[in-house]
Chain A
Amino acid sequence: MYQYDQHDRAFLADRVALFRDQVARRLTGVLSEEQFRPLRLQNGLYLQLHAYMLRVAVPYGTLNGRQLRALAAIARRYDRGYGHFTTRQNIQFNWIRLADAPDIMADLAAADLHAIQTSGDCIRNVTADQWAGAARDEIEDPRIWCEIIRQWSTVHPEFSFLPRKFKIAVTGAARDRAAVRFHDIGLRLLRNADGEVGFEVLVGGGLGRTPVIGKVIRPFLPKAELLAYLEAIMRVYNRHGRRDNPYKARIKILVNDLGSDEMRRQVEAEWEGLRGGDLRLDPDLVAEIAGRFAGPALTPDPAPVRAVEDLPLIDPAFRRWLDANTVAHRVPGHRIVNLPLKPIGAPPGDASAAQMEALADLAETYGHDDVRVTHEQNLVLPHVREGDLPALWRALDGLGLAVPNLGLVSDIIACPGLDYCTLANARSIPVAQAISTRFADLARQQDIGELRIKISGCINACAHHHVGHIGILGVEKAGAEFYQVTLGGEPGEGASIGELVGPAIPAARIVAAVETIIAGYLAFRRPGERFLDTVRRVGVAPFRERLDAAA
């Protein structure tokens, strides 16, 4: 992962000092709440239902063991012993005191971590493919570019007060695991006809109140021009994005109003004035950043494969885990190990301090000190030698983190919802817990196969419900919780937005409704069809009929 140097550390130290001063001015009344709010938000500090919530950045979802232990220590010392991994590859602490926040920032900085720009109308944490550097279908590691974007966007003087928040995702692989089509800017590394690697640039994707699939405004951008081009996009957005209505302030609305051709014209005109200038990324500069990603030197190791193949004889549970939760690595003899933070009946994405510490140890012992956070609220050990898998599996099982449910019914993503969040209209986590418990039987889950349920407690769509195979959106009706259900969303290539299956369903019936929908799939499906395939083939109408019949 990226290694901080003295300059990165000096920057964070300065930032902590600034924030300490701002908090002191707030506590003594020099700053009013109105003046302080944007300042605390730019440091990831929200005021939620029960306390302050601190959102710590996990840049492009990458942590090492030392950082995971630092997060665990914060959970123990300043919070209630756990943290919540989010759909933005970040971690949130739900029970923070404002007076402690500067000390927490200092503790984070000591582990080369921060909470800068995890909120506010600025460029947020850049997300990436969680299998970066390990995936077999990868053209180039996106994290180097994420880090360059992180540096460029950190306390950018021109783009710290945008019309609205701004999210960028980067993928370097053929399969899109970073949902780049649903970001304000999505970047796909690809190789052109001349064999040169550059970026496809998508603009104006997003979820929330108005879900939109991003449009390609430049099919191939030379790497050296990445920042100049991003700055051109930001400049057009900062000047022309709407500020009269927060629900119409994202860049997707501007792109829609202008049309993607006019957007492209304006961006390219702005880029003309910037290209080749002081934002140009010369290869030596990129190499310098890349050199700070001291990735593990993995040696192809074909021998242990046999040992792994033999292990099912020892324990069928290991085989199920191996098949469900691990993926082939680019280097033979290694696997990518996914760790769903979705034990049956547990709040999605929560991890206790003890789990974080144990995972830090496991990452150092078996995983080349590399841990990833996924936008599906799971963790990943991206580089594990096959020969180490049995021992790792036993250790994970002891932590309750070896449930073989990756991508299955119980691998639900859910926002904090009304249990924690001031914006929510309905609860999310208890719905996730109830669905997970109803489908606890793993054999049943495996029979149902790949099915991604996403539950948001309000239209802001933090859990990306629009792109869930089953999307669940909490709404309020006369003081009661109801849930709108959509079917057929998909975040990756072949991106689609789910279609509403019928009227909102009262909370008491939402789990049964999910069960009815899944029963419908099992009845309709053809051999080999996933849930999404069946929905796409038959449409939502047959599901609606079943729901109506059951209501």
Chain B
Amino acid sequence: MPLLKGGVEVADGWRALADAEPVPAQGDVVVPLARFLAEREALLARGGKLGVRCRNTDAVEVLAPDLHRIDLIALEFPRFGDGRAFTQARVLRQRLGFQGELRATGEVLADQLLHMGRCGFDAFAAALPDLVAEWRKAGASYRAYYQPATADQAPLIAALRGGRRTPLANP
């Protein structure tokens, strides 16, 4: 699966662990939220970076105490039209101040990249032929927006009223 980060396609150095799969001593791993909660101490204590994969029905607030020690959170778009992860992303970024990688997974379509970026996603695992081009196109969709969102820090409406361009941050 191609992965876009920082505006370019990169290799995915993360290893996604299933529920029962043994945790390797080294290397960067992503575990499901339930497993993180069950094995929290051990996972946080090991070497290598830690990522958590949430379903779009999970209450991401449970990660609040540990967010500074989590390097990646993967959120899921199970199908086009199911927008729950947009809110999860904004809660993580805006309310809980998560600074790590926020990765969009699942049905990640070109016509939603803009919304995802504005809600704070900065990495996209998407089966698109030219992810870089799609990302550039999405970011150039609008010269300005009507509302503040997590990625562009535009002051309300005044962003447009004052004519300030609020481009999508380059992930």
Contact = CB atoms under 8 A, between A and B. Distances in A.
Q: Is there a contact between chains A and B in the complex with CB atoms less than 8 Å apart?
A: yes
A8 B86 contact: no
A158 B146 contact: no
A35 B80 contact: yes
Given A151-B147, A156-B147, A157-B149, A288 B84 contact: no
B155 interface: yes
**Interface size grouping (class) on chain A:** 35 or more
B156 A158 contact: no
Interface string B121-160: 0000000000000000000011111111100010111101
Secondary structure call for the A interface: helix
Interface in A202-240: 227, 235, 238-239
Interface in A142-173: 148, 151-162
B13 interface: no
A238 B83 contact: yes
A157 B87 contact: no
Interface stretch (B22-30, B32-40, B109-117): B109-117
Interface string A273-284: 100001111000
Interface of A: 5-8, 10-11, 14-15, 18, 22, 35, 38-39, 121, 148, 151-162, 227, 235, 238-239, 243, 273, 278-281, 285, 288-289
A246 to B, nearest CB: 11
Nearest to B137: A21
Contact of A160 (B83, B142, B143, B157): B83
Contacts of B144: 7, 10-11
Nearest to B81: A161
B105 interface: no
16 contacts: A10-B144, A11-B142, A11-B146, A11-B160, A121-B81, A152-B146, A153-B147, A155-B146, A157-B118, A158-B83, A161-B112, A161-B115, A235-B87, A238-B87, A273-B95, A289-B157
B3 to A, nearest CB: 21
Given A159-B83, A235-B87, 16 more contacts: A6-B163, A10-B143, A11-B146, A11-B160, A35-B111, A39-B111, A151-B147, A153-B147, A154-B146, A161-B83, A235-B90, A238-B84, A238-B86, A239-B88, A243-B82, A285-B157
B161 interface: yes
Given A152-B157, A157-B119, A35 B109 contact: yes
